[in-house]
Amino acid sequence: MEQLNLPVRLRVLSSGIKSFELTNHNEEKDLKEITNQVESAKSMCADQLANLIGIPVIVARERLIAAETNGLLCRDDSIEGLRFYPNLF
């Protein structure tokens, strides 16, 4: 796509899912927005984030995990499912 000079690129997420994104996409800004959403709600799971910002659940899960990897969020993996919380440390 870069060879065709298109404004999108193919991104392979950590789970192997392939996703298109705009070339001007800012990952840092995206993670900050997600962190703000989780802080406002006190906690959040992937389906809640997906509904809130209008993205597929699998992409929401990937973004929540990316925010956790960057130290912005922490998670609780319980019988009720995977839930993310603001990282207070």
The answer to whether residue 43 is domain-embedded is: yes
CATH of the domain at 69: 1.10.10.10
The continuous run of DSSP H or E covering 21 comes out as strand 18-22
Beta bridge partners of residue 9, listed in sequence order? 21
The mean pLDDT of the chain is 90
How many independent structural domains does the chain possess? 1
36 φ, ψ (degrees, to nearest 5):
-60, -40
- 42: helix, strand or coil: coil
The answer to whether residue 19 is domain-embedded is: no
Instruction: Provide the residue range defining the domain that includes 32.
Output: 24-86
Q: What is the pLDDT of residue 24?
A: 76
Average pLDDT over residues 48-73: 94
Contact 21, 8 (CB under 8 A): yes
Per residue in 1-37, pLDDT tens? 567 777 888 888 888 888 888 887 788 998 999 999 9
Q: What is the pLDDT of residue 2?
A: 62
